[in-house]
Structure 1
């Protein structure tokens, strides 16, 4: 897939766009048609149809997404979980073994443990920062490795370079969920990852008004994933494609503001008397800080933290904060606050959450585009209540 050889800010605007603008339109129109006229295609896969993921709205997005991470190919899906589940089912078979990072988005972990495992897929959880653990758990039937760039919700940063090298050395398909980092801060194909996954609902779209996903990576693997996606029906609607296309054009300016604002807020929280612990890779005392500095071009807009006083203090804080909206999801222009134990990781059992280090009182903060000083003042007032 052709890419524009410019910096990411320029690629976000121009990569993948039609070379001849459609009737001169600067913005790609919405092709709200499920069916397209037959023009002599000899292959079923070449027929234009929404479920085939190949309408003009889809094609432009695929080119732009591939260019953003300097990958061979990309495709969009109806949700982040559609991207994740379809990828795993397309690339692996019952009896295959996958190494999985031990702290993931709850939906991903639940799909692997509750849906794939009963079908005969095998897995082991690994410490993404410990190469000895990867080697100890690798088996003769190990076929893949699955990690997150910055984990949800504890903001861990594993040995991402080492993991990709380990996968390559042992012939494993290396997959990484890059949602929290975005292509602005990390581009997995440049580091040797075969597949990069995104919930485009979050930062890529950035406006909390669609649900979408993306798979980016090697063309031969994307062909397999797209074939499975067509069968499962997880394609993205053209109107959602249009909104994602529009939202992505401002990703770089949004993400850089959120990088800076989140770092300032994390530093404020770390120094606050009411706060017990802050998880943010931009803080010098974060266990993965040195790796994050080497790997990432920004530390992201996500923070998680715990308060002194436990769950009662957490609930009081969330009630008193006036700017953050108490809601699940993340990555939009508005600041959101939630408890992962009852939202993103509610599908895990209490024992699983405890083992992963996700306490009932943990707070996850998605920093939006509001003024940073307004946010810190509001958080300070809520913490002092």
Structure 2
């Protein structure tokens, strides 16, 4: 049966398994060797070449989920995106990049691109007109992130893909927040899609990894750079990631279901001034999100009223964890100005709307009534202190 005909949970469970031909085990065996046969073999395997058995087969699962010909896994999300950038950008080239996106990506571009003579422009906004205005004759790549971290802005994927094709410019997207469960950018015309696989792919806050999926041609070009940069992933972690991805569909759908309930509740909460979640009808891009997402995801952000200290609030939480990362099965909250966007200046954060009262909320699989109770008790505890 064709993999394209498989349903989501079937792909998660079965595609990309390494068959245990010797003992017929139910799960993939783990190949820890860093040295493989060189003579008289079709594939010269080596961990840094991203082609050990576990690396090769997990990439097939990711490609199947993203509807691409091929994929690669990396040691982190930043290893994935930096390798992708360097594969398609050289001295004298120009990148157009969305102004609202993960702070680590912003910092990488600003810190590293000048060293290599690569030009870049951050858009003034995230409409297709903003991207078109930023394109130059030497533009080679447009990069977007939707939903964006942490403001949950929504960019028109199909329009950006169409713009790129009309200008002869490649397009890439960070699909981490949506995951392939809720969004398929390749089906909307994008050329490349990347993930911090640390997040929903891993899902249990115990893996650091990254991924890029695209055509075989593009992946070969990324591989040629990747083998030189050396950002491969150990087979122990690859095995853990494949194990975790078997439940990707179940986890993300449960988290998404919880998130919409909590977003609606927070929007009515007297101590919350604003909620950023694309599944709310009050979100400025609600209709766009609905048109390009099959689910609105489990990430949101919200702002507390000014009389509530955001950090003190987080310290009062008992169930929801204050955590650096996101997308695990457990719910977490953090202040982006101290974590994901700490490398940006105060002015840069102000320009994109990241203030000290903003809290990023990664919704887990817990019962929503318990999460609501925890938020309320934290606010009451502050009021009584």
Following TM superposition, by how much is the alpha carbon of 1:119 offset from its aligned partner in structure 2, in angstroms? 2.0
Whether the aligned pair in 2 keeps the contact of 1:128 and 1:163 (CA below 8 Å) is no
Match for residue 247 of structure 1?
A: 244
Of residues 368, 371, 382 in structure 2, which corresponds to 1:375?
A: 371
Following TM superposition, by how much is the alpha carbon of 1:127 offset from its aligned partner in structure 2, in angstroms? 5.0
Normalising by structure 1, we get a TM-score of 0.95
Following TM superposition, by how much is the alpha carbon of 1:20 offset from its aligned partner in structure 2, in angstroms? 6.9
Following TM superposition, by how much is the alpha carbon of 1:133 offset from its aligned partner in structure 2, in angstroms? 2.1
Match for residue 121 of structure 1?
A: 118
Matched residue count: 380
Of residues 275, 284, 288 in structure 2, which corresponds to 1:287?
A: 284
Q: Distance in 1 between matches of 2:126 and 2:341?
A: 22
Match for residue 107 of structure 1?
A: 104
Whether the aligned pair in 2 keeps the contact of 1:22 and 1:28 (CA below 8 Å) is no
Following TM superposition, by how much is the alpha carbon of 1:361 offset from its aligned partner in structure 2, in angstroms? 2.1
Of residues 249, 253, 258 in structure 1, which corresponds to 2:255?
A: 258
Whether the aligned pair in 1 keeps the contact of 2:311 and 2:335 (CA below 8 Å) is no
Identify if the C-alpha distance between structure 1 residues 159 and 4 changes in structure 2 by more than 3 Å, giving closer, same or farther: closer
Match for residue 352 of structure 2?
A: 356
Q: Distance in 2 between matches of 1:22 and 1:141?
A: 54
Following TM superposition, by how much is the alpha carbon of 1:126 offset from its aligned partner in structure 2, in angstroms? 1.9
Match for residue 73 of structure 1?
A: 70
Post-superposition Cα deviations, 1:40-95, rounded to whole Å, max 9, x if no partner, equal 247xxx31111111111011101111001110100100000000101101111111
Following TM superposition, by how much is the alpha carbon of 1:268 offset from its aligned partner in structure 2, in angstroms? 0.9
1:194-343 aligned at under 5 Å gives the runs 194-309=191-306, 312-343=308-339
Whether the aligned pair in 2 keeps the contact of 1:259 and 1:298 (CA below 8 Å) is yes
Matched, 1:166 2:169: no
Match for residue 24 of structure 1?
A: 24
Whether the aligned pair in 2 keeps the contact of 1:128 and 1:158 (CA below 8 Å) is no
Normalising by structure 2, we get a TM-score of 0.95
> Which sections of structure 1, spanning at least 5 residues, go unmatched?
none
Of residues 174, 179, 201 in structure 2, which corresponds to 1:177?
A: 174
Post-superposition Cα deviations, 1:232-276, rounded to whole Å, max 9, x if no partner, equal 110000000001000001011101111110111111111011011
Q: Distance in 1 between matches of 2:19 and 2:330?
A: 35
Matched, 1:57 2:45: no
Whether the aligned pair in 1 keeps the contact of 2:148 and 2:154 (CA below 8 Å) is yes
SS in 2 for 1:24: coil
Q: Distance in 2 between matches of 1:376 and 1:22?
A: 50
Of residues 134, 147, 152 in structure 2, which corresponds to 1:150?
A: 147
Match for residue 188 of structure 2?
A: 191
> Which sections of structure 2, spanning at least 5 residues, go unmatched?
none
Whether the aligned pair in 2 keeps the contact of 1:3 and 1:66 (CA below 8 Å) is no
Following TM superposition, by how much is the alpha carbon of 1:135 offset from its aligned partner in structure 2, in angstroms? 2.0
Q: Distance in 1 between matches of 2:240 and 2:123?
A: 37
Q: Distance in 1 between matches of 2:124 and 2:254?
A: 31
Following TM superposition, by how much is the alpha carbon of 1:8 offset from its aligned partner in structure 2, in angstroms? 1.3
After the TM superposition, which of the residue ranges 268-277 and 111-120 deviates more from structure 2? Answer: 111-120
